[in-house]
Amino acid sequence: MQKRYAVLWFPYLLTDWYLRSHAQYQQVPVVFVMPVQGRVLITASNNLAQQLGVMPDMLLADARAAVPQLHVLQDKPLRREKLLKALALWCIKFTPIVSLDEYGSILLDISGCTHLWGAEQDYLSAIVDQLASKGYQAYLCSAGTIGAAWAAAHYSCGTRLVEEGKQLALLGDLPPEALRLERSTVDRLYKLGFRTLASFASIPVTVLKRRFTADIVTRLQQFLGKSEEYLTPVQPILPYTERLPCLEPICTDKSIEVAIGKLLNNLCQRLAGEGKGLRKAKLSCYRVDGKVQSVEIGTNRPSAHVPHLCGLFSQKIGQIAPGLGIELFIMDALMVDDAPSLQELLWKGNIGLADNDIVELLDKIKARDRYCRINRYLPNAQHWPERSIRPAATLNEKKTIAWPFDRPRPTRMLHPPHAIEVAAPIPDYPPMLFRYQGQVHHIKRADGPERIEREWWLEAGEHRDYYYVEDEQGRRYWLFRLGHYTTDVSPEWYLHGFFA
């Protein structure tokens, strides 16, 4: 999958946040100030103030002298960082991987997310439009590298897509600051006449390292995609998380219940495949107004049973206030434990093939492989093992006698039996080991012999002495010795079946 990144930059974050609730100052130059080492510096200014020449890091006294009509607000430490983090958490509804950088930008890993909005341009426009509806002016650009997306967002002024491999061709005329370089490095580049990225991008790496620092080489390679850059999400992604975006905002309890069922189906399928079960889960509902509604459930033991978990969440739906609608559901498995897989009960009592679940299971097995053959057998009133079962003529044919359970019989019986080599201590003792298909099996447990005589009115031949044996790996077999043990002739041993 092709990697794509997007960068959000808010040039007037603090003033936009303030003007959201103070519309009367929309046409007034507004600045935020903070005392720094005995001086009052401007930390942020809105668009109108910057048009009048009032920029961040200016002294308030100088700004008032130039623009007497300034509306001055007191800034607080870490206010900008808190606002950025809140906006980054809001962006999780567009992509699960959202990060912050030290320059006050929000970095998004949008790989595999844009198709949900139709196209990448539509995806970017949806983010910018929703932020604008909340009063925030944002620049958003996407590219195949974080560096290229950051440069385009900060210096291209507008939503823009940078195609893969065309970073330098499209952004080569940007200033050196677009590489996120230190001020001293930028000043040195300007002093030497390098005023655009393209002017020094083709210089050999060894020369750049020698003339400047390794930082400029790293940033340039990250910009071009020759060096990997990693994001640290503001909200770590849990190993078991499922997302369900909605085409239209959801408001009804029934729709929320359907969404929960889809999320749990996907989540429990993953958990069951890894032998795990859910102990604690959290459902987060992202509303169109930016608010998040969350509910949690817990279980006494690990569970991947979807109907049971859906029932637990159904009791919590009343606590979810959808507001104007929910546009994204996220299901997080906060705690999982190992859960032994249990065989589902298909044969309920004596229902057998009258149960549709059994017939549907056979259909699924057959559908997986068109060469698969499914046979059904019924007990036959014969004593000899090969004749004790018979193929059923139809699926609905009833058995005339009951299955015998007085003696265990293998799940898979070989016909004809396979000859094997056996080492036995003395006559009528179970074998110590046997060789089958070139592999030696050392017997750890055995039971027998069980003598089965031939039906003399059907055929002549020797009787068989059967043994139930288990090897060192826990595999069980049905072996027999043909006829009586004699000292002058080596006995013939056969493998007749495998137990489950």
- The 10s digit of each residue's pLDDT in 199-242 is 998 888 888 888 888 889 999 999 998 888 989 899 887 788 99
Q: Please check whether residue 98 is in contact with residue 88, taking contact to mean a CB–CB distance below 8 angstroms.
A: yes
Task: Give the per-residue pLDDT at 158.
Answer: 65
For the stretch 420-474, pLDDT in tens is 999 888 767 888 999 999 999 999 999 888 999 988 888 888 999 999 999 999 9
Task: Give the per-residue pLDDT at 394.
Answer: 76
Residue 496 — very low, low, confident or very high, per pLDDT cuts 50/70/90? Answer: very high
Report if residue 192 sits inside a domain.
no
Q: Where in the sequence is the domain holding 305, given as residue range(s)?
A: 241-338
| 155 and 23 in a common domain | yes
Report if residue 190 sits inside a domain.
no
For the stretch 385-419, pLDDT in tens is 888 888 888 777 888 888 888 888 888 888 889 99
How many domains does the chain contain in total? 3
Report if residue 295 sits inside a domain.
yes
Whole-model pTM over 0.75: no
Task: Give the per-residue pLDDT at 373.
Answer: 80
Task: Give the per-residue pLDDT at 344.
Answer: 56
pLDDT tops 70 at residue 322: yes
Structure tokens at 474: 């826990």
- Give the end of a domain, one of 130, 161, 192: 161
Task: Give the per-residue pLDDT at 347.
Answer: 54
Q: Average pLDDT of 304-316?
A: 90
- Give the end of a domain, one of 315, 338, 361: 338
Cα torsion 171, 176, 178, 180: sign = positive
Q: Average pLDDT of 346-366?
A: 67
Q: Average pLDDT of 159-167?
A: 84
Task: Give the per-residue pLDDT at 355.
Answer: 66
| 19 and 150 in a common domain | yes
Chain length of the chain = 500
Report if residue 26 sits inside a domain.
yes
Task: Give the per-residue pLDDT at 484.
Answer: 85
- Give the end of a domain, one of 311, 338, 365: 338
Task: Give the per-residue pLDDT at 348.
Answer: 53
Quick count: other Cβ atoms within 10 Å of Cβ 35?
A: 11
Q: Mean pLDDT over all residues of the chain?
A: 88
Report if residue 397 sits inside a domain.
no
Structure tokens at 314: 């159904």
Task: Give the per-residue pLDDT at 421.
Answer: 92
